Structure 1
Amino acid sequence: MHTHILFDFFGTLVRYDARRTSQGYPRSHAELVRLGATVSYADFVEGWDRTFAVFDRGSEPEDREFSMTQVGTAYLTEVLGRVPAAGDVDAFIRGYLAEWSAGVSYPEGVVALVRSLSRVYRLAVVTNTHQPDLVPGHLAAMGVLDAMDAVVTSVEVGRRKPHPAIYAEAVQRLGIEPGAAIFVGDTYTADFAGPEKFGMTAYLIDPAGVADVPGDRRLGSVLDLAAKVRASAR
């Protein structure tokens, strides 16, 4: 019997742009200038993307996660020509994330869905992210942080989905066996194949029907989940 639902966050409970420099970042660039950097805005965008790409490549073989602090320190060291103070890194990262988060939106109906499901299931979020307080902050802004029994982030675990360590951390925190959990997300490997291999029952948001998943586990959006789990429980 399923007693818990574990949600992916980005692309599942919220809409977002996965590109790291698709928003405008004038305040982030201004902070660089304040710290003494002489890079143009265009060079900032290119260099920030490049630094992230280096960390991404290093993480891929073993699904190791890195933090915004690590990326920020590496980038600021490059553009300033010195190791930045911890406070300077934090200020830059906070400013950048505030601008990046302007591209995150909360779809209509998601809050009502979460509230409805929380009356039947215990809920949690299991998400890949480089900043530990980013997702809890968005959940609080949505008004559903109190509905979550746990928020498990890859940066705190040190491994990103689909590494089994992050699913193991989630079930350990919740005090359940994997078979008691439903997992729902929008990325096949991280949110369907990984959880299924770990012993959970997964549902995939796949409106175009491109992934190789059973039809009764495919969602047009997360808003379809309630009907799907009701049907499976009959």
Structure 2
Amino acid sequence: MPQKIEPWRERLRELLVREPSLVSLTLRWFGWLVALIIVILRAAPEVNLKDAPWVLALTFVQLALMSLYPRFMRDRLTPGIEKKVPLLWPFVDSLIAAWSIYQTGGWDSPFYHFGVTVVLGPSLRFGILGALVSSSFFSFLFLLVVKLTQSGFSPAYAGDQAEPDLISSPLNPLMIALYAAFLGEVLKKLRREMKRSSILAAENERARMARDIHDGVSQTLFMLAMSLETGQVLAQKEKAEKTREHLEK
């Protein structure tokens, strides 16, 4: 059984290194699943749950399109549009995430975890700059939509005392984005090492083939030389035998 599992793990590891977008997409789905569980268990105030079902449906469609895009849609776009998608989509994605939080009551929204994962894609792709820009933009949108909701920031206060979430919620995107940027740099180095290893493996294979050809040619020449030498010895013996027979006559 371990012999079957290990190649599967190795293929998965190579796939995640080559396609880091799968990391962010997986966590986006996880954030959506958290929202689904909160809605099913009714684990949030009613004001945050009344519009949640249709927001779940729309965000499911969004994630489904994001999942299908790399395999089925990207190659159908023109080169110009294909280059613009990685730059424009994080902006659109952040707006959709902020909208989902707004529609589900702002503070205590079941879609907060779904929303905060929008920083992963830009951070993995563009590094520290992507992390700073995406986290700042999402935190701004988050605070804005909470302010625009009917309850505003009042659910973040227990009496006159602010809850810790009032500070951590706007900062979480930055921390997540920085970790993702660090992971992105690690994956870039791994991709370079994998490419270098494949080049070295190809060079080693060519060298091995050259050695095999050289050894084969050398062996053929050696056998040919041995055959010629043996033939020469046999010819000399035959000539000597004929000479002896001629002298005896």
Compare the two structures and name the one with the higher strand fraction: 1
TM-score when normalising by structure 2:
0.29
Compare the two structures and name the one with the higher helix fraction: 2
Greater RCO (Cα-Cα under 8 Å, separation 6 or more): 1
TM-score when normalising by structure 1:
0.30
